[in-house]
Amino acid sequence: MESEESHAPDAQWARDGFARGGVARETGQMNLDEDLNGDRLREECGVFGVFNHPDAAAITAIGLHALQHRGQEAAGIVTYDGRRFHSERRLGLVGDTFSDARVIERLPGHIAVGHVRYSTTGETLLRNVQPLFAELDAGGFAVGHNGNLTNGLTLRKQLVRDGAITQSTTDTEVILHLVARSKKARFVDRFIDALHFLEGAYS
């Protein structure tokens, strides 16, 4: 049987705060469906990605336009050109931002991930627009998430207690922090580490 240490981002941190499978050991009752300021990402969002194409951003913008029915509150695209990441995230419809050729020109690269956001409660804030991006010690990492992490609030509270500084109120940011804490050497293994802690339905 695989040990807890083999997939935990940090073995001591996992022992102190998490049970196997990613559920925090909390005292008392906690409503796992509780929202952070009423602004959790819902299942109705849309995610689109392109790999190894010189017009990755433009194609992603077209893909997001086709997914506009999945989210009308905000849209974002992150690209990678082999050296740097580039990000454009705005409130509003896809066409409000990404129909402008100047915006697409600011997103060079052959890899892109895009996201359209929909939430059922709470206000929409620019800091919650995805994809979220962070510079980690292993390099840049962008994530766009569609779904519902049922233990997202529990994980977030544990991370904050352990010193994590959060920038948004979405459960997606938890993924960034879990990847950052992983001790695995390869980036893909760090991501797999993080997934071991997540519960719910997501893509």
Per-residue pLDDT tens over the stretch 93-141: 999 999 999 999 999 999 999 999 987 433 579 999 999 999 998 889 9
Encode pLDDT of 103-116 as tens digits: 999 999 999 999 99
Kindly list the catalytic residues.
45
- C-alpha dist (Å) from residue 179 to 4, 45, 46, 68, 80: 16, 22, 22, 29, 19
- Going from the N-terminus, what domains does the chain have, and what CATH number goes with each? 4-202 (3.60.20.10)
The residue with greater pLDDT, 38 or 171, is: 171
Cβ contact 124:173 at 8 Å: no
The dihedrals phi and psi of 106, each to the nearest 5 degrees, come to: -85, 5
Q: What is the mean pLDDT of the chain?
A: 81
SS3 (DSSP) at 132: strand
* Residue whose token pair is 């433009």: 58
